[in-house]
């Protein structure tokens, strides 16, 4: 798959319509927003974050509900929602090297931001997807959330909260199919990307992408998704990742 035409493949979902980026203030979210804006294929692009005009905080369900309501009130079919939020460390979250560092409050914080917040996004935003035609809800997960792929251990709360996210996405995808057979709900690993989140961990030896490259690859995969992909856990090249 070529990486050279990022925006073009995302058009396959858009026939006008609105794109919504949640976490548009983040490294990957901001790059996704820029790419989708510059593409002009969507009739409207909404960039949501804790600092947007309608602030959305994942730990405040009322703010998620209000943002979804404001999005619906624009009266434009929502064809694409990308959740680019997430946390690895800081803001109460810890990157544990050993079980000795496990802390109930830090674990709960990681789950609140990486799993429960996105679950509430699905609760309030999936109903906005049109009942017919292609539409996509993609949430950024992480390969380290794969249980089958876990060979190194460590990062307990990040791994476990992303595994929980993957299960939530898969479960919502099954429900989504009943009313919106052409809609697609996926969890995506963006690859290792040079952002605030990864700055302390992106080691030499790993392929570290710029946020612009990651965004381009994500949009390219989204552009090619078929309904059969609903509920999948995919990497930035569209390959299925082991649960």
Ligand X SMILES: NC(=O)c1ccc[n+]([C@@H]2O[C@H](COP(=O)([O-])OP(=O)(O)OC[C@H]3O[C@@H](n4cnc5c(N)ncnc54)[C@H](OP(=O)(O)O)[C@@H]3O)[C@@H](O)[C@H]2O)c1
By CB under 6 A, the residues from 132 to 151 that bind ligand X are: 140, 142
Contact between 79 and 135 under an 8 Å Cβ cutoff? The reply is: yes
Binding of ligand X by 66 (CB under 6 A): no
161 binds ligand X (CB under 6 A): no
Report the residue from 14, 19, 20, 28 that binds ligand X according to the rule CB under 6 A.
Answer: 28
Distance linking the first and last C-alpha atoms of the chain: 23
Q: Does 190 interact with ligand X (rule: CB under 6 A)?
A: yes
At a CB cut-off of 8 Å and minimum separation 6, what does 134 contact? 12, 13, 79, 182, 183, 184, 225, 227
CA torsion, ordered 187, 146, 31, 125, to nearest 10 deg = 30
CB of 50 or CB of 170, closer to ligand X: 50
Residue 187 sits in the site that holds ligand X (CB under 6 A): no
Closest approach of Cβ 164 to ligand X, in Å?
A: 13
For residues 29 and 223, which CB has a smaller minimum distance to ligand X in the complex? 29
User: Hey, what's the torsion of the CAs at 237, 228, 170, 176, to 10 degrees?
Assistant: 130
Spatial distance between the Cα atoms of 40 and 33, rounded to a whole number of angstroms = 11
**Does position 27 bind ligand X by CB under 6 A?**
yes
Cβ proximity to ligand X, 134 vs 236, nearer residue: 236
Residues 74-133 close enough to bind ligand X by CB under 6 A:
84-87, 113
| Shortest separation between residue 120's beta carbon and ligand X, angstroms | 10
Site size for ligand X, by CB under 6 A?
A: 27
- Asked if residue 196 binds ligand X (CB under 6 A), the reply is yes
Shortest spacing between CB 58 and ligand X, in angstroms: 4
**Cβ distance to ligand X smaller for residue 118 or 180:** 118
Question: Quick check: 212 binds ligand X (CB under 6 A)?
Answer: no
* Interface segment toward ligand X; rule CB under 6 A; list 11-19, 49-57, 95-103, 226-234: 49-57
Rg value, the chain, Cα: 17
9 part of the interface to ligand X, by CB under 6 A: no
**Which residues are at the interface with ligand X (CB under 6 A)?**
23, 25-29, 49-50, 56-59, 84-87, 113, 140, 142, 189-190, 192-193, 195-198
């Amino acid at each position: 798959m070529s990486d050279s035409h990022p925006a073009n493949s995302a058009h396959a979902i858009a026939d006008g319509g609105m794109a919504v980026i949640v976490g548009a203030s983040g490294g990957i979210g901001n790059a996704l927003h820029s790419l989708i804006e510059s593409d002009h294929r969507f009739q409207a692009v909404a960039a949501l974050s804790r600092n947007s005009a309608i602030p959305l905080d994942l730990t405040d369900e009322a703010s998620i509900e209000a943002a979804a309501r404001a999005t619906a009130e624009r009266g434009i079919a929502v064809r694409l929602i990308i959740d680019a939020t997430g946390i690895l460390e800081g803001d109460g979250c810890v990157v544990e090297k050993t079980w000795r560092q496990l802390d109930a409050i830090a674990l709960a914080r990681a789950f609140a931001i990486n799993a429960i917040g996105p679950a509430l996004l699905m609760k309030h935003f999936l109903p906005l997807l049109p009942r017919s035609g292609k539409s996509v809800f993609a949430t950024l997960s992480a390969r380290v959330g794969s249980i089958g792929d876990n060979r190194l251990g460590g990062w307990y709360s990040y791994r476990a909260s992303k595994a929980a996210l993957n299960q939530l996405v898969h479960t919502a995808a099954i429900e989504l199919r009943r009313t919106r057979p052409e809609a697609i709900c996926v969890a995506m690993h963006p690859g290792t990307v040079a952002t605030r989140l990864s700055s302390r961990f992106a080691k030499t030896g790993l392929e570290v992408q710029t946020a612009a490259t990651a965004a381009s690859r994500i949009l390219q995969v989204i552009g090619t998704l078929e309904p059969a992909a609903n509920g999948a856990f995919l990497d930035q090249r569209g390959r299925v990742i082991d649960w």
